[in-house]
Amino acid sequence: MTRKEFEELIPLKLLGQLSNEESNRFDLALKDPEFKQQFENWKEAWNSTRLFEVNDLNIDAAKKNIEERIKVGEPDFTWEEKFVYPQKRYFRWQWAAAVLLLVGTVGIWKMTDLLKSPPKWVATSTALGEIRRLTLSDGTEVLLNAATKLKFPDAFSSKVREVYLEGEAWFDVKANPQHVFLVHTGDLTTQVTGTHFNVKAFPNEDRIEVALISGKVSVEYNYLQANGKQGKQVAELKPMQRISHRTDGTEDVIDYFQKEEVLGWKMGVLTFKDVPLREMIEPLSRRFGVPIEIKDEQIKNCRFTTMIIDQNLEDVLAAIEFSHGIKFEVNQSLAGQGKKYLLTGKGCNSNN
């Protein structure tokens, strides 16, 4: 959907006059954070200043009110034909009139300013082996793990502070009860007003995890109902609780966690407790900044319990080799891409 089409549908959305097809297109467009922010600006103005309830609209009074505001002559259509019936297309004059009616005392100039000045969205990302600290415009501190992307506005301009995360980040949200803070990760949204928590949502992993350190968070996510349809679920976490949500909606687990298990990455520490090798590869790759690949399927489920603090990667792989007989080799044939580590073996606890 183009920006022009989106803007033409905004007043119809506020009036509740979108068709089913328009409503579906509008909801799809709201997945774009810039469109969503623009709609929030309009909605905020409408909710704070509206003069009429939709069910009590008086078309004659509305027409008089609008004509006095924008000083235009009678349009070449009748209100009965174009304003009352939502099935017929609004012209620009008409939806501007509808918005004027909705926003009441805000005035056309303020609304025009809201439309023309949406926040600028900033996208930042970290490379393998990189950890970066950010401070958002409201004072919220964010620490990004390696291989992470974060999208956020350069300035929060509505009652909702929201960011989009792909990867892993630790948040220290600046307290503000009047402006909730949302972290969007796939089909899961974490809502807080001020707290410390960690979110892990790497695109190549089948789980999204939210771990609360202090304060309170609300987590909304999709789940698969017995009839096969998607439903919505909300979970409230207590301090030191974590939710692990499967991205296919088939399983959600809430448990308590050890701090070093979740936040060790902030200090370069990795903790694995009875974890299959296949789940260790990505964290190791992010931590040491090099690609690692399991070459033989039969070793993917070999399990390990270990804590990695200040070892280098080859020391870690040597320990894996010693405990399970898994071999590693360095492939340096990738032109311009540096090393790549390959893990091979015939099975767990094998000397071959």
Model confidence over 169-203: pLDDT tens digits?
999 999 998 899 999 998 899 999 889 999 999 99
**Token pair of 178 as six digits:** 């009047």
What percent of the chain is modeled with pLDDT above 70? 76
Average of pLDDT values for 242-270? Answer: 90
Please state the pTM of the whole predicted model: 0.67
Range from 19-28, 72-81, 148-157, 339-348 carrying the lowest mean pLDDT = 72-81
Amino acid 333: pLDDT: 58
Amino acid 109: pLDDT: 46
Model confidence at 1, pLDDT cuts 50, 70, 90, reads confident
Instruction: Please give the CATH topology (third level) of the domain spanning 121-258.
Output: Jelly Rolls (2.60.120)
Model confidence at 339, pLDDT cuts 50, 70, 90, reads confident
Amino acid 35: pLDDT: 82
What percent of the chain is modeled with pLDDT above 90? 37
Amino acid 254: pLDDT: 95
Rg (CA), the chain: 26
Amino acid 41: pLDDT: 75
CATH 3.55.50.30 domain extents, the chain: 269-344
Model confidence over 6-36: pLDDT tens digits?
887 887 787 777 888 888 888 888 888 778 8
Residue 145 pLDDT exceeds 90: yes
CATH 2.60.120.1440 domain extents, the chain: 121-258
d(CA 124, CA 34): 16
Residue 204 pLDDT exceeds 70: yes
Model confidence over 277-292: pLDDT tens digits?
999 999 999 999 889 9
Amino acid 59: pLDDT: 44
Beta-ladder partners of 199: 169, 210
DSSP-assigned states of every residue in 20-83: HHHHHHHHHHTTSHHHHHHHHHHHHHHHHH--S-GGG--HHHHHHHHHHHH-----SS-HHHHT
Mean pLDDT score of the chain: 79
Residue 76 pLDDT exceeds 60: no
Cα 210–132–167 angle (5° rounding)?
A: 35
Q: Look up the CATH architecture of domain 269-344.
A: 3-Layer(bab) Sandwich (3.55)
Residue 136 near residue 142, CB atoms below 8 Å:
yes
Amino acid 169: pLDDT: 97
Q: Which residue has the higher pLDDT, 117 or 7?
A: 7
